[in-house]
């Protein structure tokens, strides 16, 4: 049994792969996001073309998106999509609540045989509109666009060195 375990530990380096190079998005030196092989990347090049795909490889300052190579300095803009509760389910709930408030006031006014001008109170209108506007604003937080330049910087970290280090004198 010990021999099998030792043999497995000896074979692991042959089937394991080391970490590949990294593409690092920074804002004034602070890390925002890192990209490596297998990550989704939505980018705009300096030539004005948008590319969306998966990073298939990274080698010598070149990022391969769906097999097409780009030097990392050719990337002008990076776009990230954030999907979480705050910008998917919560805005939908806010829209439903706003519609419910407005419809409920109309139905109650019609059932009470009130005049149509008195169906809505000021607080119901303000609440309904603020819920709808708040839900709309939250839907706009799904996507962040980072323009590479003064505020944002894209760095390429090469972790796979093929050359031996230089010999000291």
Is residue 116 one of the residues assigned to a domain?
yes
Number of domains in the chain: 2
Shared domain for 33 and 90, answered yes or no, is no
Shared domain for 47 and 97, answered yes or no, is no
Q: What is the span of the domain harbouring residue 67?
A: 14-82+143-157
Cα separation of 134 and 129, whole Å? Answer: 8
Per-residue pLDDT of the chain (169 residues; tens, 9 = 90+): 888 888 877 877 776 666 678 889 999 989 999 998 888 999 999 999 999 999 998 888 889 998 899 999 999 999 988 787 887 888 999 999 999 998 998 888 888 888 877 888 888 899 999 999 999 998 888 888 889 988 999 998 888 766 666 777 6
Is residue 106 one of the residues assigned to a domain?
yes
Is residue 168 one of the residues assigned to a domain?
no
Shared domain for 72 and 152, answered yes or no, is yes
Q: Which of 139, 43, 85 is nearest to 54 (CA)?
A: 43
Q: Residue 167 burial by CB count (10 A; 0-12/13-18/19+): exposed, middle or buried?
A: exposed
3-state secondary structure of 125: helix
Shared domain for 25 and 76, answered yes or no, is yes
Q: What residues form DSSP beta bridges with 91?
A: none
Shared domain for 47 and 105, answered yes or no, is no
Is residue 1 one of the residues assigned to a domain?
no
Shared domain for 110 and 134, answered yes or no, is yes
Shared domain for 109 and 91, answered yes or no, is yes
């Amino acid at each position: 049994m010990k021999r099998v375990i030792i043999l497995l530990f000896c074979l692991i380096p042959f089937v394991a792969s080391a970490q590949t190079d990294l593409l690092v998005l920074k804002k004034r030196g602070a890390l925002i996001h890192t990209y490596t092989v297998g990550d989704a990347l939505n980018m705009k090049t300096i030539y004005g073309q948008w590319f969306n795909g998966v990073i298939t490889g990274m080698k010598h300052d070149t990022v391969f998106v769906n097999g097409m190579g780009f030097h990392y300095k050719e990337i002008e803009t990076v776009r990230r999509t954030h999907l979480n509760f705050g910008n998917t389910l919560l805005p939908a709930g806010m829209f439903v609540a706003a519609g419910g408030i407005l419809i409920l006031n109309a139905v109650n006014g019609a059932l009470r045989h009130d005049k149509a001008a008195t169906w809505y109170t000021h607080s119901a209108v303000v609440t309904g509109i603020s819920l709808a506007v708040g839900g709309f604003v939250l839907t706009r937080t799904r996507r962040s666009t980072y323009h590479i330049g003064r505020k944002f910087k894209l760095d390429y970290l090469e972790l796979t060195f093929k050359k031996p280090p230089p010999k000291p004198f």
